[in-house]
A and B are shown apart, each in its own frame.
Chain A
Amino acid sequence: MELTYKDFCNEIKKGRLLGLKCEGCGKVIFPVKSFCPDCGGNKLKKIELSKRGKIKTYTVIRVAPEGFNPPYIVAIVELPEDVLVMGNLDFDPEKAGLFLLGKEVEIGYKEVPGDKYSGGGGIALLFSLVE
């Protein structure tokens, strides 16, 4: 794979949010794949994605999977490259509301230790509102 999850995690820790771009048709691809879902091409190159986007939708998780501490916000953010990313919004869950929709966020990350079923730890994207 041109871009593995491990590379994705290592790069976000260096401040770079990576995705892929199809050299055949120009489609920007996220999450990572080995083929372009539009044209079927396999010449995909790593690109750096914008670290700013807008909140498309969100929820406050109040009943959580084992290992997570509710309440917390999960949001989907739309990047200018027309791709979506999922992560947590660094914001008081009790103050969350529909006013969050469309708000601009800066994209960072947090490390998640994982559990005995997760194949090790990973990262969750962490969104912060841009004032």
Chain B
Amino acid sequence: MREVAIVGVGMTNFGKHEETLLEMFGDAANEALLDAQLSPKEIEALFIGNCLGDFAEGQANISPFCASVIGLKDIPTIRVECACATATVAIREAVLTVANGVYDTVLAGGTEKTLVMGTPFATRTFAMASDSRFEGFAGITFPGAFALMAILYSREYGVPLEVLKEKMAMIAVKNHKNGAKNPKAHFRKVITIDDVKNSIMVADPLQLYDCCPFTDGAAAVVITTLEKAKRICKKPVVVAGTGLASAGAIIDQDIPRIKAREKAAKVAYAQAGMTPNDIDVCELHDCFTIAEIIATEGLGFFEHGQGWKAVDKGETDIGGKIPINPSGGLKARGHPIGATGAAQVYTIAKQLREEAGEFQVDGAKVGMIDTLGGDFSVVCNLILKRGW
């Protein structure tokens, strides 16, 4: 397999957008191609992530239109849908085609609009990523799925729920503090633990500020061989390892652990020849505050049942042992589900290139991306490192 690198990244501001799915994608792709100093004509294939365009805009079959909007025709285009892990899976598929010599230079990313649907219908469409027969008819939601996990985590590991909730609130505070430094974040405001505790209950024990928001946005990355990357770019970001794994319904899983993540991460670490100790910065799937705790354990940064302690000691802060979500994460950067993974890749590439501005992790040479889809049924991990 050939070594693969990311040579350009682009991302719209996250938040509420009047622009269409295609317009947002066009903006993100434009920034990524400018960053790579490549013409669209050099793109041989497009891998686009989008989950809910069918419902948000009545736009199915979005991949050819995404190519068209950046002036491309006659190229292969592929839409990927893996719930909230969509864009990471699209990027991984793009990386694999380049690694295996199918194409030399491709574009991958995601675009999503969720706010236009309103909360009840958006909640309905998100819930479609659970098992529609054995879970959906019970009215499960995504906050609900992670609420089930929070209660179970508290019980399995003997962490009193009030203590766990305090740490969860601290994670929300941390990610908002980080997001306030990110000019592209949906929420750029600092919050307090009291803000979390005083927010409405969404799915007991998760309150509004334990939850990421509905968000619109798009992000895109240009992927090519490391050989070409070194010719055209000063700071190619190498894709050192990737992993993707799946599972069935929640009731088919070994909860509160997320085995799909553990498998995906293991594969990615092995491919990169690395361990969790080699990771300098991580953007992971904090769709809910409890999700960040469980993810830090599944990725191997902390022992199972111990991750809740980390935020207390500042270990996951910028400057800590393993900075988690310095961009604000899904919690503050926002979560346009089919674009989130591409935004994580954008952010890690900026970190490794030391272009992350106020939320820069000093000297970050290796970064990890973790994106989870559905009710823990798909997890995709990428490990990126400096190629210079």
Contacts and interface: CB of A to CB of B under 8 A. Distances in A.
A64 B139 contact: yes
Contacts of B127: 65
A63 B119 contact: yes
B363 interface: no
Nearest to A56: B152
Interface in B196-234: 200-206
A91 to B, nearest CB: 13
A123 B126 CA distance: 20
B203 A57 contact: no
A124 B206 CA distance: 23
Nearest to B205: A59
A6 to B, nearest CB: 10
A119 B132 contact: yes
Contact of A59 (B128, B147, B248, B255): B147
A34 to B, nearest CB: 12
B143 to A, nearest CB: 7
B16 interface: no
Contacts of B147: 59
A124 B131 CA distance: 12
A68 B137 CA distance: 9
Interface residues of A, number: 39
Contacts of A74: 138-140, 144, 148
B137 to A, nearest CB: 4
B110 to A, nearest CB: 22
Given A56-B152, A76-B251, A61 B144 contact: yes
B134 A31 contact: yes
Interface in A29-83: 30-31, 37, 56-68, 72, 74, 76, 83
B124 interface: yes
B194 interface: no
A66 B124 CA distance: 6
A112 B151 contact: no
Counting chain B CB atoms within 10 Å of each CB, which of A58, A65, A76, A125 scores highest?
A: A65
Interface string A105-131: 000000010110111001111000000
A5 B131 CA distance: 12
Nearest to B154: A98
A2 B294 CA distance: 36
B119 A57 contact: no
Contact of A57 (B133, B143, B155): B155
Interface string B234-276: 0000000000000011111001000000000000000000000
Interface of A: 5, 30-31, 37, 56-68, 72, 74, 76, 83-88, 96, 98, 101, 112, 114-115, 117-119, 122-125
15 contacts: A31-B131, A59-B204, A60-B201, A61-B141, A65-B141, A66-B121, A74-B138, A74-B140, A74-B148, A84-B250, A84-B251, A84-B252, A86-B134, A118-B137, A124-B139
Query: Nearest 3 A-B pairs (CB), nearest first?
Result: A59-B147, A65-B124, A84-B251
